[in-house]
Amino acid sequence: MSGIDCVRCGRNSAPLAERPVPGEVGREIVEKICPACWAEWQNAEVMVINELRLNFMDPKSIDILTQHMREFLLLDGKGPNLPPGIPTS
């Protein structure tokens, strides 16, 4: 088995063992994102939630967080280069 080619860091890696979030987005993450990049998002997610004061009783907050996640993980293919400050090794 060849694993996945992470769209964010470009490395070939074993995929996440299970969907980290429910639904289609979770499937997309398993197919496109390596465990190391997912771990980075989990750190960033805490900051996004705190900074934007997101409330998970509010569906709009979930949408906002999902959008930040897609951008952070480059799921929509934005930017051919790695984001600044991301170590490549």
Residue 8 vs 68, nearer CB to Zn ion: 8
Residue 59 vs 87, nearer CB to Zn ion: 87
* 46: enclosing H helix or E strand: helix 35-52
Cα 26 to Cα 21: distance, rounded to the nearest angstrom: 5
How far apart are CB 49 and Zn ion at their closest, in Å? 22
How far apart are CB 55 and Zn ion at their closest, in Å? 29
Structure tokens, 42: 């989990």
Structure tokens, 58: 């509010």
Residue 21 vs 64, nearer CB to Zn ion: 21
**Residue ranges binding Zn ion (CB under 5 A):** 6, 8-9, 34, 37
**Is 14 within 8 Å of 35 (Cβ atoms)?**
yes
How far apart are CB 11 and Zn ion at their closest, in Å? 6
Which residue do the tokens 């465990």 mark?
A: 35
Residue 15 vs 49, nearer CB to Zn ion: 15
How far apart are CB 59 and Zn ion at their closest, in Å? 29
Cα 64 to Cα 17: distance, rounded to the nearest angstrom: 26
